Amino acid sequence: MNVIDVSGLTKSFDGRVAVDNIALRVGAGEIVGFLGPNGSGKTTTIRMICGLLTPDAGQGTVLGFDVRRDSARIKREVGYMTQRFSLYEDLTIEENLFFVARLYKLSPRRQIVAATLERLGLASRRGQQAGALSGGWKQRLALAACIMHRPRLLLLDEPTAGVDPKARREFWDEIHRLAAGGLTVLVSTHYMDEAERCHRISYISYGKMLATGTVGEVVRESGLSTFIVRAPPSAEFLKRVAALDGVEQVAPFGAALHVVGANRERMAASLAPLASEPGVSVEPGATSLEDVFIHFMAVSNGAQDSARAA
């Protein structure tokens, strides 16, 4: 069963199309990563899915409820964690959770709050003011507030921005525990390592869905090929490689260059002469999700520039 099953979702603001004919399906218990550059329409799409925005066009269901007619019912069954910390900074952790529990009319309130504090490792800090928490602890409190009413769908909008790697790892471990218990998760992120922890990913740019599938499927279907060029570090050498026929991306990784392009044969022919130079080696490499992300951004920017010129 698809927890999210929408198609044709479209939304404009002041004549500018923010989301353009989006289709998205997420199965029960799945963790789906929602990728795309800033301003690509991720937040607008999430807000339509959780019932906070009404689509201008499109249809579908979220948790079996009609996305256009049943927004109030969808809101009660969804946990939505926004980009910015949205709880009260002058209240303690426990006071914030009691406030949320009252909003959802949860009962028995005291036991539910206590269980949530224990589950998210917040019990020892229950009396600490939210405004004094680090980014990682604020994130943990926000997640606690989102799942306390036991939603069936969790929507996370760039939840780990500005959080240190250890806190991000712990956050994702908790997300996988929740999904293993049957919770469905749609999470927007800019971090490629986080996207790779998702069961599937969907990539959106300028309001249009460009790719969806597992990480392996999206990388494979991008058609990109990668070569690793090792050479003494040199800005001039990097410029030479970037100017070669068939090369679309060049990125330094330590003492090596990550060279990416869509036409493997042209790129291989262009790189071959470099291998005969002293201290230079060229070998096939694995295309990464980050390579695909940057490729999609370049394609989308080119399409936008062409549209503006027309």
| Beta bridge pairs of residue 261 | 225
Residue from 220, 242, 236, 241 nearest 291 by CA = 220
Strand-by-strand arrangement of the 184-188 sheet: 78-81, 153-157, 184-188, 31-35, 200-205, 208-213
Residue 107 confidence (pLDDT): 95
Per-residue exposure over 168-195, b if at least 16 CB sit within 10 Å of its own CB, e if not = beebbebbeebbeeebbbbbbbebbebb
Rounded percentage of the chain residues whose pLDDT exceeds 90:
81
Tell me which fold the domain 225-286 belongs to: Alpha-Beta Plaits (3.30.70)
CATH architecture of 2-219: 3-Layer(aba) Sandwich (3.40)
Residue 304 confidence (pLDDT): 56
The answer, yes or no, to whether the previous bond of 159 is cis (omega within 30 of 0) is no
Residue 210 confidence (pLDDT): 92
Tens of pLDDT, residues 214-245: 999 999 999 999 999 999 888 999 999 999 99
Residue 137 confidence (pLDDT): 93
Tokens of 242: 């970037």
Residue 129 confidence (pLDDT): 96
Residues of the chain with pLDDT under 70: 301-310
Q: Which residues contact 283 (CB under 8 A, 6 or more apart)?
A: 227, 228
Domain ranges for the chain, please list them: 2-219, 225-286
pTM for this one?
0.89
Output the DSSP codes for the chain: -EEEEEEEEEEEETTEEEEEEEEEEEETT-EEEEE--TTSSHHHHHHHHTTSS--SEEEEEETTEETTT-HHHHHHHEEEE-SS--S-TTSBHHHHHHHHHHHTT-SSHHHHHHHHHHHTT-GGGTTSBGGGS-HHHHHHHHHHHHHTT--SEEEEESTTTT--HHHHHHHHHHHHHHHHTT-EEEEE-S-HHHHTTSSEEEEEETTEEEEEE-HHHHHHHTT-EEEEEE-S--HHHHHHHHTSTT--EEEEETTEEEEEES-HHHHHHHHGGGGGSTT-EEEEEPPPHHHHHHHHHHHHHHHHHHHHH-
